[in-house]
């Protein structure tokens, strides 16, 4: 469980082919290998081509795009789309809004769910299972079920018109609680019992035993929440009505409404939304993969 899913398979599987591989079957597997490589390349093209095309369109001039003269391999490149988008929209503000909201959500989620996850996994008390079950069930409810009253609630609480209208309802997701509970369950209870017998309070146990052992959990939870919140759309669409509070995805929709068929400008802005998270995702792939795989374990 500590190893990344993307790491190579154990050596035993490789040995198998050399040990069992008779000359004939080895030739067969080599033919299979070519077919597999071709399949892998074809799949990669299907996945990568739309992204490549987004890049091409973002760096191409409008006339080329409209004239239909755009080639698969463009000869000229221009940053005109980026200039137009940056001049016409408060992209820097939207970018910092996205950062502020997603980082706050991630920090809040880590804090709240480490505490809650510890309670649900290591402390025995009546009602803990019911709480966990209710929390899990809420994970399945789409936000559109509660959006009408949630909007009224956020307005009545005076949150509408601030970041908190997005941050607090997003941080209420039970996903982090689920992940934290699963992780903290794997901390040996003997360790905690021993500290308790030595006279440590529950809070002390949490800060000096659970917290230091939960560093991987903190990383996984932080990056997963950051990703989700950065890309979140349905609730911010309702909760952020003023232009200057928009996050990047909402701004992207707004821009599409304003610029209509200007696909070059749209793609330039889409890139600004996409690139930071894709880079982060690839650099910290280990944590994301662990998070997704772990959430899939049961």
Partner 1 sequence: MTKVAVEQDRVAGTVAPSLTLPRRPGRRNGKTVREALAGWLFLTPNMLLLCLFVLVPLVWTVVISFQETNGFGVGEYVGVANYERLLGDPLFWRSTANTLLFTIIVTPLSMVLGLGAAVLFNSILPARGVFRSILIIPMAISGVATALIGVLVFNENNGILDNLIRFIGLPSVNWQSGGFAAFVSVVLVTLWWRVGFNMLIYLAGLQSIGPELYEAAELDGAGFWVRFRNVTVPLLGPSSFFLLILNVIYSFQVFDIVFVMTGGGPQNATSVLVTYAYDTGFVTRDQGYAAAIGVVLLLVTFIFTAVRWRTSRSRDLVE
Residue ranges in 227-286 that form contacts with partner 1 under rule CB under 8 A: 227, 230-231, 233-234, 237-238, 248-249, 252-253, 256, 263, 266-267, 270, 273-274, 277-278, 280-282, 285
- Under rule CB under 8 A, residue 34 binds partner 1: no
Q: What are phi and psi of 199, to 5 degrees?
A: 100, 10
According to CB under 8 A, which residues from 133 to 172 bind partner 1?
Answer: 134-135, 137-138, 140-142, 144-153, 155, 168-169, 171-172
> In residues, how long is the chain?
298
Q: How far is CA 274 from the centre of its chain?
A: 12
Distance of CA 98 to CAs 135, 166, 187, 233, Å?
27, 11, 34, 11
Q: What is the DSSP letter of 141?
A: S
For residue 30, count other CB atoms closer than 10 A to its CB: 10
Residue from 120, 217, 265, 268 in contact with partner 1 (CB under 8 A): 120
Residue 112 near residue 95, CB atoms below 8 Å:
no
Q: What is the DSSP letter of 201?
A: -
Q: Which CB sits closer to partner 1, 78 or 228? A: 228
Binding segment (CB under 8 A) for partner 1, from list 15-23, 87-95, 99-107, 213-221? 15-23
According to CB under 8 A, which residues from 79 to 98 bind partner 1?
Answer: none
Dist CA 144 CA 233 (whole Å)? 12
CB of 87 to partner 1, least distance (A): 20
- Under rule CB under 8 A, residue 211 binds partner 1: no
Residue from 26, 31, 39, 207 in contact with partner 1 (CB under 8 A): 39
Residue from 126, 130, 242, 244 in contact with partner 1 (CB under 8 A): 126
Residue from 86, 112, 200, 213 in contact with partner 1 (CB under 8 A): 112
Q: What is the DSSP letter of 161?
A: T
CB of 103 to partner 1, least distance (A): 16
HEC string of 244-261? HHCCHHHHHHHHHHHHCC
Dist CA 163 CA 158 (whole Å)? 11
CB of 92 to partner 1, least distance (A): 18
Q: Which CB sits closer to partner 1, 51 or 77? A: 51
The size of the interface with partner 1 (CB under 8 A), counted in residues, is 112
Binding segment (CB under 8 A) for partner 1, from list 74-82, 84-92, 106-114, 212-220? 106-114
Residue from 77, 100, 129, 188 in contact with partner 1 (CB under 8 A): 188
Which string of DSSP letters, residue by residue, matches 229-291? Answer: HHH--HHHHHH--SGGG--HHHHHHHHHHHHTT-HHHHHHHHHHHHHHHHHHHHHTHHHHHHH
Residue from 22, 23, 24, 46 in contact with partner 1 (CB under 8 A): 46
- Under rule CB under 8 A, residue 131 binds partner 1: yes
- Under rule CB under 8 A, residue 203 binds partner 1: yes
Binding segment (CB under 8 A) for partner 1, from list 62-70, 74-82, 99-107, 212-220? 62-70
Rounded to 10 degrees, what is the CA torsion of 217, 219, 220, 224? 140
Sign of the C-alpha dihedral computed for residues 21, 27, 31 and 33 taken in this order: positive
CB of 256 to partner 1, least distance (A): 7
């Amino acid at each position: 469980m500590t190893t990344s899913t993307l790491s190579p398979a154990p050596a035993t599987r490789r040995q198998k082919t050399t040990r069992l591989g008779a000359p004939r079957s080895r030739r067969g597997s080599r033919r299979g290998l070519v077919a597999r490589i071709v399949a892998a390349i074809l799949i990669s093209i299907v996945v990568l081509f739309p992204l490549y095309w987004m890049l091409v369109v973002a760096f191409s001039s409008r006339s080329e795009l409209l004239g239909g003269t755009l080639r698969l391999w463009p000869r000229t490149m221009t940053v005109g789309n980026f200039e137009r988008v940056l001049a016409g929209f408060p992209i820097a503000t939207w970018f910092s809004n996205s950062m502020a909201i997603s980082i706050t959500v991630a920090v809040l989620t880590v804090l709240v769910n480490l505490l809650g996850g510890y309670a649900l996994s290591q402390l025995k008390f009546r009602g803990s299972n019911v709480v966990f079950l209710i929390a899990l069930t809420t994970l399945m409810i789409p936000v559109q079920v509660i959006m009408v009253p949630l909007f009224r609630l956020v307005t009545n609480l005076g949150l509408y018109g601030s970041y908190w209208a997005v941050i607090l309802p997003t941080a209420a997701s039970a996903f982090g609680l689920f992940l934290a509970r699963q992780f903290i369950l794997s901390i040996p209870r003997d360790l905690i019992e021993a500290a308790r017998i030595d006279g440590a309070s529950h809070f002390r146990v949490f800060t000096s035993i659970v917290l230091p052992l939960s560093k991987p959990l903190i990383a996984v939870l932080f990056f997963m929440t950051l990703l989700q919140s950065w890309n979140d759309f349905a609730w911010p669409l309702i909760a952020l009505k003023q232009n200057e509070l928009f996050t990047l995805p909402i701004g992207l929709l707004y821009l599409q409404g304003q610029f209509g068929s200007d696909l070059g400008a749209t793609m330039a802005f889409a890139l600004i939304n996409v690139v930071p998270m894709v880079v982060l995702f690839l650099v910290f792939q280990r944590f994301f993969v662990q998070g997704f795989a772990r959430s899939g374990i049961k």
